[in-house]
Amino acid sequence: MNTALNERASAAYQAEQRRKTGLIGVVFFIVAESMFFLGLFLAWFYLRATNEAWPPAGVAQPSIVPALFNTLLALLSAACMVVADRAAARGDQRRLIGGVIASAAFGVIFMAVQAAEFVDLSLLAQSSAYGSTFTFLLFFHVLRVFVGVVLMAVVLFRALLGQINPSRRLLVQATALYWYFITAVWLVVFAVLYLIK
């Protein structure tokens, strides 16, 4: 009896250690991604500081309307991911699945809006350092959104198979952390590209 109890306690301890290790790995990945975006922002501010006009004369700043809409989508998507993450912690499969579907749908719409904006930005990207850096920042952010949506698809698949429960939800937690990071990066990208003059 005592051996069986010890084995269960040991298994629970090992599962908790794997969860902590997995989350630490995600945090390190997010820190690395943060450094990548920090480099992009530093390049943007360096180019801005070394040019007399930013954007340069003859280069129009892109419309803020798609970016405002994408900001709303990003915030709604993050809110849906909070619902999904909390539902996974409670074992509420219906809300987990609904939250992930809604969050992923907002992410897909975000990418569609960004793709439409890239069509308009194609000439801007070739016109100046301003245009290429502007487009580069948006492109690398939308790549991260794509990764987040793929992770959500994996979470959805595993949830539909019944493989996620309160004691087995590392994938949901990792995806949620990454999605919150991507949302925070978008808010900074939005502020840097569209609001800071």
pLDDT at 11: 59
pLDDT, residue 34, reads: 95
Question: Which segments in the chain show pLDDT lower than 50?
Answer: none
Contact predicate 183/166, CB 8 Å: no
Closest CA to 152 of 49, 83, 64, 51: 83
How far lies 109's CA from each of 34, 44, 54, 72, in Å?
24, 27, 30, 11
Classify the C-alpha dihedral 142-147-150-152 as positive or negative.
negative
pLDDT value of position 41: 96
- Residue 126's pLDDT is what? 85
- R_g over Cα of the chain: 21
Q: What is the CATH architecture assignment of 2-195?
A: Up-down Bundle (1.20)
Q: Among positive and negative, which fits the CA dihedral 126, 70, 192, 53?
A: positive
The pLDDT value recorded for residue 8 is 66
- Would the pTM count as exceeding 0.85? yes
Contact 96, 84 (CB under 8 A): yes
Give the pair of three-digit tokens for residue 87. Answer: 């539902």
How many Å apart are CA 141 and CA 163, to the nearest integer? 30
Q: How far apart are CA 110 and CA 82, in angstroms?
A: 18
